[in-house]
Chains A and B, each alone.
Chain A
Amino acid sequence: MIEFQQVSKAYEVAGRDIPALHATDLSIEAGQIYGIIGHSGAGKSTLLRLINRLEEPSSGSILVNGEDVTALDAPGLRRFRRRVGMIFQHFNLLSSATVADNVAMPLRLAAELDRKQINERVKSLLARVGLSEHANKYPAQLSGGQKQRVGIARALATEPTILLCDEATSALDPHTTRQVLQLLAEINQELKLTIVLITHEMDVIRRVCDQVAVMDGGHIVEQGKVTDVFLHPQHPTTRSFVFDDESDDAQAVDFAHVPGRILRLTFLGEATFAPLLGQVARATGVDYSILAGRIDRIRDLPCGQLTLALIGGDVDAAMEQLAKADVHVEVLRG
């Protein structure tokens, strides 16, 4: 459990305080994958770095499992940081050390295990991320995806309870991004690890996150379950993220010339696959035309959103039946 209590951060530039994060409350439950999305300069990187105090907060306190991290002294902070893994956009591996030595580094710094135990741990970590045969290579000999896997193995070396991901897939191609996200989802399940990730891509949030916070101008402008935020975005910034991600932007198309009542239906879970529209049309005598739509997955949950125009028949009864079938109905034009 990570809890921000009125945490703010300002940088001093030429004698003036420039706020990067305004007083923020946030709570991240243990075991979740919590995504923070925002454009560059929105304050998400600052927020992430406050958790392991790579940035010192200007005010407020941050509690991790009930312990006030902002009150830790230097040795306490070092011990705390060993329980928090971190991976980076540009991997930040030592170019002068082999893959195995990079993964062993946090263990050697901690100096709690002997050489044999460290070697065993490194071996099993490399096996977990699928890099056993690359143990003696140098980072420069690896692809971007492999480097990030080394980063993940290194971050997990001290068996942390929290993993911070700083734009961990932003330097990777879409295919590699999916593989790395898959790996993060797997270790989240296997190790019951809390993952906090920041990104500027809605797709990353949609694929792995349970909860999301949207940041803009140093504020969290919207937060909640990914399904809610993704399907019913409220804040303009959130909408721009959600609809930038879609090729068929239902908001941008003008349906002025289309007759009838225009509805947006949101299906979640099994309702997505039910032959619902035909049943409702037959029962109520309405005709419908599909104006826009998308069928998608949020993590493993199928979801769909359709924009329809209903004409003729008993339109009110049709809406009632749809709502009864666990479909979220919004009227875009009456």
Chain B
Amino acid sequence: MSELFSNIDWYDIWIATLDTLLMLGGSLFFTVLLGLPLGILLFLTGPKQMFQRNGLYAVLSLIVNALRSLPFIILLIVMIPFTKLITGTSLGVAGAIPPLVVGATPFFARLVETALREVDRGIIEATQAMGATTQQIITRALLPEARPGIIAAVTVIAITLVSYTAMAGVVGGGGLGDLAIRYGYQRFQTDVMVVTVVLLLILVQILQSIGDRLVVHYSRK
């Protein structure tokens, strides 16, 4: 065993795992914080919805699509000056979070928009008929009814962020993916590659099963 994993420095692996978890946690937090309102706005201003605003929806849609079509690796590099501006560095975990958030937020907003569209229009109508304000319709009817869909969206975006963090190594972001590329791929240390990939696999599995469980827990249909 020890010969098989002779190249492995378990301390490096531990630090890389922590970095990955930090990048994931930080970027997931800000992605949800920004993406949820953006998704709600996309939904409300969309075609045939409560606040249909064709112009605003078109502009928002265009921005979201443009950011989603940009390869993440390009985004990472383009973002460097902006990242320095808000975090003071473009390196490490702090340097990786802004591009991760900008890369994931448009995708998450689209998923939220889709989840909200799944809510039965009749429920919105019934809530309107009760004399609810728009804010009440959103917080008391739309979001609770869309909760399973939104949890599924968070799960998808968390796993997407795990794969994005692997690219953060390009700008010195650190993490498991970075380790896999630098040691496993560039230095032909296959054992490092295997260990990091297995750890990423386990992380994705855990995220998916937590997400699935929460969806089942909150689904009353």
Q: Tell me the A residues contacting B by CB distance below 8 Å.
A: 52, 54, 77-82, 84, 86, 88, 90, 92-97, 105-106, 108-110, 138-140, 158, 164
Contact = CB atoms under 8 A, between A and B. Distances in A.
Contacts of B133: 78
Interface residues of B, number: 21
A82 B136 CA distance: 14
Interface in B104-159: 120, 122-123, 125-133, 136, 140-141, 144-145, 147
A185 B161 CA distance: 58
A140 B221 contact: yes
Given A52-B129, A78-B131, A82-B130, A92 B221 contact: no
Contacts of B5: none
B220 A138 contact: yes
B94 to A, nearest CB: 38
A77 B128 CA distance: 10
Contacts of B147: 96
A94 B122 contact: no
Given A94-B123, A109-B140, A78 B145 contact: no
Interface string B59-96: 00000000000000000000000000000000000000
Given A108-B140, A158-B130, 9 more contacts: A81-B130, A86-B129, A90-B120, A90-B122, A92-B123, A96-B147, A106-B131, A109-B127, A164-B129
A158 B130 CA distance: 9
A84 B122 CA distance: 17
Nearest to B143: A96
Given A78-B131, A86-B126, A92-B120, A109 B136 contact: yes
A120 B120 CA distance: 30
Classify the secondary structure of B's interface with A. Answer: helix
Contacts of B220: 95-96, 138-140
Contacts of B145: 94-96
B51 interface: no
B188 interface: no
A95 B141 CA distance: 10
A94 B129 contact: no
B131 A81 contact: yes
A17 to B, nearest CB: 18
A77 B91 CA distance: 55
Contacts of B140: 105, 108-109
B89 to A, nearest CB: 43
A110 B131 contact: yes
